[in-house]
Amino acid sequence: MATRITASRRDDGIMVLKISCPERRNILDEASYTRLIEGIAAAEADDGVKVLIITGTENCFTAGNDLANYQALAEADSVMAITFLRRLQAFPKPAIAAAEGIALGLGISILLHCDFAYGGQSTRFQLPFTHFALTPLGGTTWLLPRLAGHKAAAQMLLLGQAFSANDAREIGLLTDTAPDGRALEQAFDCATRLLDKPHEALLATKALMREGQVEAVKSALDREEQALLARCRTPEAQSAIDAFFARRRHP
């Protein structure tokens, strides 16, 4: 079943991009990234859109990139997931994420590139790239150590250790936690408060906040893309992914 990306533009100036395929934990594939890029482009081009919210379904934000995509990357020269994250990173208007249930891999990268992020209290976070003999993507190796500190980032990136919503809030990955099922409500509350501010001042302030790190993040995205492509070509990564799918077929 394909993951659906729906874009809803509200009259008040809020656009919502929703990731939806709960049967497969809202995993993302090439078609998903194309639709997300189109949604972000539409939000940027529409002067009536002042704030963007990215969310998943009631019990799942996203389990990240479809592992089958990593197998296909052995023959690729670019990573569509990173193309999407480049587009999100460059989005000039305020962006808010609302996560429930799980946020894995690329799901955490999305949170890192949003200006605000809210998560349900029981949401579980994990960056399991090394479990599959892969390297992280999305500027995560540059952004996360600066957000959480090297030691905490090493637990998340090298060990692939899962962490809680409270942990995510403490390191600054989340703006705040919410009772389960109410992260999107918090995101709308934040968006409404942003709508009350002078929009051009918000744009200028966000540009100034990002100015000092734009080139560093772009460089990290490029390095991670090349490293990931190289890893996807290794027998070690392909075997790890094959083993995962074999366990799924024969639990």
**31: CATH:** 3.90.226.10
Asked if residue 240 belongs to a domain, the reply is no
Asked if residue 198 belongs to a domain, the reply is no
Asked if residue 111 belongs to a domain, the reply is yes
Q: What are phi and psi of 4, to 5 degrees?
A: -95, 135
Asked if residue 193 belongs to a domain, the reply is no
Structural tokens at position 43: 């939000």
Number of domains in the chain: 1
Q: Which pTM does this prediction carry? A: 0.96
User: pLDDT grade, residue 251 (50/70/90)?
Assistant: low
CA atoms of 148 and 99, how far apart (whole Å) = 19
CA atoms of 107 and 61, how far apart (whole Å) = 7
Give the tens place of pLDDT for each residue, 99-153: 999 999 999 999 999 999 999 999 999 999 999 999 999 999 999 999 999 999 9
Asked if residue 190 belongs to a domain, the reply is no
96-114 burial code (b ≥16 CB/10 A, e <16): bbbbbbbbbbbbbbbbbbb
Asked if residue 135 belongs to a domain, the reply is yes
Region of 49 on the Ramachandran plot (φ > 0 left; ψ -120 to 50 alpha; else beta) = beta
Torsion of CA 60, 61, 67, 73, to 10 degrees: 160
Asked if residue 150 belongs to a domain, the reply is yes
Asked if residue 251 belongs to a domain, the reply is no
Arithmetic mean of pLDDT, 59-67: 95
Structural domain range at position 37: 4-181
